[in-house]
Structure 1
Amino acid sequence: MGIFKKLGWFFKQEKKRYIAGILFLLVADIAGLVPPRVIGILADLMNDRKLSLNLLFTWVGLLLGAAIVQYISRYGWRNMIWGGAATLERELRSRLFGHFLKMDETFFQRHRTGDLMAHATNDLNAIQNVAGSGILTFFDSILTGGTTIIAMMIFVDWRLTLVALIPMPLLAVSARVLGSRLHRAFGESQAAFSRLNDKTQESVSGIKVIKTFGQADEDIDDFEKIVDRTIDINRKVYRIDSLFDPTTSLIIGLTYAITIIYGGWLVTTSTITLGQLISFVSYIGTLVWPMFAIGRLFNVIERGNASYDRVYELLGEKSLIKEKSNATDHLIAGDISYHVASFTYPDDEETSLRQIDFDLGAGKTLGLVGRVGAGKTTILKLLLREFDNYDGEIKIGVKNVKDYTLEGLLSSIGYVPQDNFLFSTTVRDNIRFASMDKDQDEVESAAKQSAIHEDIQGFSRQYDTLVGEKGVSLSGGQKQRLAISRALITLPEILILDDALSAVDAKTEAEILTNLKADRHQKTTIISSHRLSGVMNADEILVIDEGRIVERGTHEQLLTLNGWYAEMWRRQQLAAQLGVGGAEDGAE
């Protein structure tokens, strides 16, 4: 019953609702005692030939009244208890979703998307069932069992009641033994479901890659192995769970046998009447539900207990990015002062950045270039506060970035990552995602800046065109330009393009950069690019290699150094003249 204790905070919060629900349950159970007693009385009246039409209508009216009371009471407890369960589900879903949004990148590296989805769906449903059917079953079995046993003692015979209940301790023993085994089995079952969810989500997301490389059959085989393993684990759960009902049926059978033998003897000795024995047998029928409910209760409790532990293990994780209590949340502006002596990713032994020092004046443009894995994106991640565990200091204006709230910092930065994510909505709503109150003129202005407006005009429904999941209906270049529009529409003080022009042609790239230079001449821009033409007009260009700045200067200064930058420039210029793609083998 530990899950009830774990959910104590919620039951305390909703105590009025649950108290009312339990009272409705009690009224319904008391009303349920009337029919067996009335049937016994009618049997005695008929046996004694004393049943008149008036008495018959009186007792039938009492049965009808009890049925009406039960109807109203059942509506009451369903409304209260199931309403409480829905409240718990809403609260936990909101809490878990909010937790996901607050967590840092490290959290999502540790947990796969499918696993997080399993926690947010299957596990939360199991916890909700505890607050709904769990509470109902627990109190209904106690109240029904308790009131029925009391009625058996009062209306029939206390000796017969005690003798008939002799098999009951066997039910408690079996429930305890099977319950502990169920808890372990349900934990394994929920973990298996997470693995299956992971595989399904990964395969659906990567379906194009799977088909392109002809791995459909292999992926199906892998999926079927996981399904088979999940089924085997669930079979173990079902085997244990299936033992409850036969055990309960055996105990009920013993109870009926004792009742017939001992109760029949009591009737023959005139200790009780035949009608009382009939009532007693009916009461035993009422006890069948509480007995079976114990098996159901342990099923719900153990599943919910395992799920609760899994969910709260997630909720207990803390983001490595912590905001200061006095952090400012106003929009930021000013020079960028970036001085990082070293940075190492969590759980990584190798240092990713060393001695990264630069100052970028407000309104200036910085270019970052270098080989794949050189550290360009890592530099940007620290500026965006995706990680705080570095040795050094990063300032925007006069304040350290750690002195701003995340909302204050990120609302001032327009970031376009390497991997562009578009939502399954219209082109318009994707562009104005960060500011849904923007009107059509502002949307079109941002689209024109990123050279996507003419493409949109050619779409079937123009700005009302649905882009599909992750922008599946768009080309790579169109996705990138839509993502740039989304960043530009917020008029950010700092714009970061992290290899965000890699999928557009040189002409479109030049058009976008020209638009940015004209429209953002007083605002800061950072461009990370493998195509050097994208940074050639920057006020300063940093060449990054193995987490260090190996070259720096303007485009002309770097050409005179005749180093990596100059060599890559010559390669890319030659490739452009030959009409082939840029020399991307040496750059990110």
Structure 2
Amino acid sequence: MLVFKELWWFFKKEKVAYGFGIIALAIVSLLSLLPPYVIGVVVDHILRQTLDVRTLVIWISVLVGVGVFSYLFRYLWRILIFGASIRLARLLRNQLYEHFTKMSQRFYQRHRTGDLMAHATNDIRAVQMTAGQGVLTLVDSITMGGFVVLTMAFTISWKLTLICLLPMPFMAWLTSYYGSLLHKRFHLAQSAFSDLNDTVQESVTGVRVAKAFGQEKSEIDQFRAKSEDVVKKNVSVARVDALFDPTISFIVGISYFLAVVFGARYVIAEELTIGQLTSFSIYLGLLIWPMLAFGWLFNIVERGRASYDRILAILSEKQEITDERAEVYERLEGDISVDIKSFSYQGSEKISLSNINFSLKEGQTLGIVGKTGSGKSTLIRLLQREYDLDDGTITIGEHSLQTYSLDRLKQGFGHVPQDHFLFSATIADNVAFAKPTASIREIINSCQLAQIHEDIVRFPQGYETIVGERGVTLSGGQKQRISIARAVLPNPEILILDDSLSAVDAKTEEQILSGLRENRQDKTTIITAHRLSAIKHADLILVLDQGKVIERGTHTNLMKEAGWYRRMYEQQQLEEIVEQGGRADAT
């Protein structure tokens, strides 16, 4: 029952709903005691031949009244208790979602998407069951069971009641043992479901890749294996769950046997009447539900406890990037100064960046180039404070990055990542995501700047075209340009293009860059690229290799050196000439 203690904060918050719900539940339990008593009285009247129409009508009226009031109070407790449990699910779901949005990249490196989804669905559902069905079952089993036992003991025979309760401690021990087994196995079952959830999410997201490489069978086999593991672990839970009802029924059966044997002796000895023994037998039947409910309670509680433990484990993970040192709540502006002594990702011994230092005046453009894995994206992440820098400093406008409030920091950056994520919404909604209040004119202007407007107006629904999940209906170049339009819409102080022009042709690339230079003369732009034509107009170019700056300067200065930049630029120019010649020959 530890989970009820852990959820006590919520029960206190919803004390009115749970208080009146429990009172209504107790009244229903009390009302359910009247029908057996009425039956016993009527049986005795029949045996004594004293039953008349008036007496029968009175007792039938009592039964009808009990039915009506039971109906009303049952409706009331369901609304109150189940309504409160639904509010708990909403509260936990909101807490989880808010927690997810605040966590850093490291958090998402440790946890898979499918596992996080399982926490927000199955685990919350199990906790909701505990706060609803669990509370109901606990209160109902205690009140109904207590009232029935007290009624049997004080209105019929305390001796017969005591005899019939002798097997109950054995049942309590067994259900407690089953509960501990259930907790362990349900925890494993939930973990298996998380794995399955993650597999489905990855498979659906990467279905194009699977089809392209003809790996559908492999994906199906992997899913089948995960699914069988989920079934196996849930069957293991079901095997323990299946022990509750037979055990309780067997114990109650023993109690019935004792009631018949000893009850008959008391009737013969004239210590009980036939009507009282009949009432006692019916009360004993009413005791079956509290006993079964008690077993079901262990089932619900242990499931809820395992799931709540998983939720608390996620919520207990601390937010790494915080406003703890926030002092600056003004607009992000000014020169950028970077001095990174060393940076490594958590859990990795490899140094990702070392001895990176440069200054960039407000309104200038920085180009960052280098081989794959040279540290370009890592530098971008540090500039946006996706990770905190321990050995070194990054300042914007003479303020340390860590002293800016997170809200101001996010508002000041416009980022076009390598992975162009689009929502399953209209093109207009996707572009306006960075500025929900934007007018259609502003959306069109940003799309024209990103050279995607002409493509959009050729779609049958234009800007109201649904792009599908992750933009599945669009080409790579179209997704890139919509992402650029989204980033430039709010006109951020610092625009970051992280290899965001790789899927467009050279002419479109030049048009986009020319438009950015014209519209962002007083704004800072940072571009990482593999195609050097994208950064040749930059005020400062950094060439990275294995996390270090091996060359720096303008395009003109770097072309005077016989370094990596010059060799790569000349090679790319030669490739472009060859491609143009090939197209010319073909025509």
1:135 aligns with 2:135: yes
Matched, 1:528 2:528: yes
Identity %: 47
How far apart in 2 are the matches of 1:389 and 1:536? 29
Residue matched to 1:339: 339
Classify the secondary structure of the residue corresponding to 2:525.
Answer: strand
Q: Please give the residue correspondences for 1:469-480 in structure 2 after superposition, counting only pairs within 5 Å.
A: 469-480=469-480
* Corresponding letter in the other structure for 2:100: F
TM-score, length of structure 1 as denominator length: 0.97
Decide whether the 8 Å contact of 2:322 with 2:406 is kept in 1: no
Q: Distance in 2 between matches of 1:34 and 1:70?
A: 11
Measured in 1, the distance between the counterparts of 2:55 and 2:331 equals 84
Cα distance in 1 for residues equivalent to 2:393 and 2:207: 43
For residue 567 of structure 1, what is the aligned residue in structure 2?
Answer: 567
Q: Once the 2 structures are TM-superposed, how far is the Cα of residue 435 of structure 1 from its aligned partner?
A: 1.4
Secondary structure at the aligned position of 1:318 is classed as coil
What secondary structure does 1:433 align onto? helix
| Distance of 1:203 and 1:479 partners within structure 2 | 21
**Alignment partners' CA distance in 2, 1:558 and 1:129:** 66
Stretches of structure 1 lacking an aligned partner (at least 5 in a row): 582-588
Q: Is the 8 A contact 2:353 2:375 kept in 1?
A: yes
Q: Trace 1:209-224 onto structure 2 (pairs within 5 A).
A: 209-224=209-224
- Structure 2 CA distance, aligned partners of 1:345 and 1:392? 15
CA distance in 1, matches of 2:422, 2:526: 22
Could you tell me which residue of structure 2 aligns to residue 541 of structure 1?
Answer: 541
Which residue is 2:151 aligned to? Answer: 151
Distance in 1 of aligned mates of 2:580 and 2:379: 30
CA contact (8 A) 1:542 1:552 kept: yes
- Shift of the alpha carbon at 1:456? 0.4
Alignment partner, residue 85 of structure 2: 85
CA deviation profile, 1:492-526 (whole Å, cap 9, x unmatched):
01100000100000010000001001100111101
| Alignment partners' CA distance in 2, 1:365 and 1:460 | 37
Q: Is residue 196 of structure 1 aligned with residue 196 of structure 2?
A: yes
Post-superposition offset of 1:294: 1.5
Query: For residues 261-340 of structure 1, what are the structure 2 equivalents within 5 Å?
Result: 261-324=261-324, 326-340=326-340
Moved more, 184-193 or 221-230: 221-230
CA contact (8 A) 2:325 2:403 kept: no
CA distance in 1, matches of 2:259, 2:288: 14
List, as ranges, runs of 4+ consecutive aligned residues in structure 1 with deviation greater than 4 Å: none
Which residue identity is paired with 1:39? I
In structure 2, relative to structure 1, the CA distance for the partners of 1:43 and 1:325 (3 Å cut) is: farther
Name the structure 1 match of 2:452: 452
Q: Give the SS at the match of 2:342.
A: strand
The residue matched to 1:432 in structure 2 has which SS? helix
Partner of 1:515: 515
Q: Aligned letter for 2:476? A: G
Deviation at 1:325, TM superposition (A): 5.0
Report the Cα offset of residue 432 of structure 1: 0.5
**Corresponding residue number in structure 1 for 2:378:** 378
Aligned 8 A contact 1:37 1:155 in 2: no
Letter in 2 for 1:67: G
Partner secondary structure for residue 323 of structure 1? coil
Within 5 Å, which residues of 2 pair with 1:353-368?
353-368=353-368
Shift of 1:326: 4.2
TM-score by length of 2: 0.98
Question: What whole-Å deviation, never above 9, does each CA across 1:119-154 have from its counterpart, x for those lacking one?
Answer: 111111111111000000001000000001111122
Give the superposition deviation at 1:560.
Answer: 0.3
Aligned to 1:585: none
Give runs of aligned pairs for residues 57-206 of structure 1, distance below 5 A.
Answer: 57-206=57-206
User: Matches of 1:173 and 1:542 in 2, distance apart?
Assistant: 71
- For 1:54, the aligned partner's letter is R
CA distance in 2, matches of 1:15, 1:389: 46
Q: Per the alignment, in what secondary structure is the counterpart of residue 561 of structure 1?
A: coil
Partner SS state of residue 550, structure 2: strand
Deviation at 1:427, TM superposition (A): 0.3
Distance 1:73 1:152 in 2: 24
**Correspondence for 2:585:** none
Rounded to whole Å, the distance in 1 between the matches of 2:475 and 2:283 is 72
Instruction: Indicate the residue corresponding to 1:17 in structure 2.
Output: 17
The separation in 2 between residues aligned to 1:542 and 1:306, in whole angstroms, is 51
Retained in 2: the 8 A contact 1:21–1:77? Answer: yes
Does structure 2 retain, via aligned residues, the 8 Å contact 1:344–1:390? no
Alpha-carbon separation, structure 1, partners of 2:463 and 2:199: 35
User: What's the offset of the Cα at 1:324?
Assistant: 2.2
How many pairs are equivalent? Answer: 581
CA distance in 2, matches of 1:73, 1:418: 59
Q: Distance in 1 between matches of 2:154 and 2:233?
A: 48
- Which amino acid in structure 1 is aligned with residue 330 of structure 2? H
SS in 2 for 1:324: coil
Q: Deviations over 1:474-509 (max 9, x none)?
A: 000000000000011111011000001000000100
Q: Note the alpha carbon deviations across 1:231-265, whole angstroms, 9 max, x for none.
A: 22111111111111111111111111111111111
Distance 1:475 1:175 in 2: 59
Q: Which whole-Å deviations, capped at 9, do the CAs of 1:303-345 have from their partners, x for residues lacking one?
A: 1111111111111111221222543333211111111111111
Q: What is aligned with 2:584?
A: none
Q: Structure 1 residue 382: deviation in Å?
A: 0.3
By how many angstroms is 1:564 displaced?
A: 0.6
Deviation at 1:405, TM superposition (A): 1.3
Q: Secondary structure at the match of 1:173?
A: helix
Give the whole-Å Cα distance in 1 for the aligned partners of 2:459 and 2:550: 45
Q: Distance in 2 between matches of 1:42 and 1:76?
A: 31
CA distance 1:118–1:537, change in 2 (3 Å): same
Are the counterparts in 1 of residues 366 and 541 from structure 2 also a CA contact under 8 Å? yes
The 1-side partners of 2:536 and 2:455 are apart by: 27
**Cα deviation, residue 113, structure 1:** 0.4
Structure 1 equivalent of residue 484 of structure 2: 484
Matched residues in 2 for 1:511 and 1:486: separation?
A: 17
Question: Please, which moves more after superposition, 437-446 or 319-328?
Answer: 319-328
Equivalent residue for 1:7? 7
| Contact 2:325/2:402 (8 A) holds in 1 | no
Q: Distance in 1 between matches of 2:386 and 2:327?
A: 17
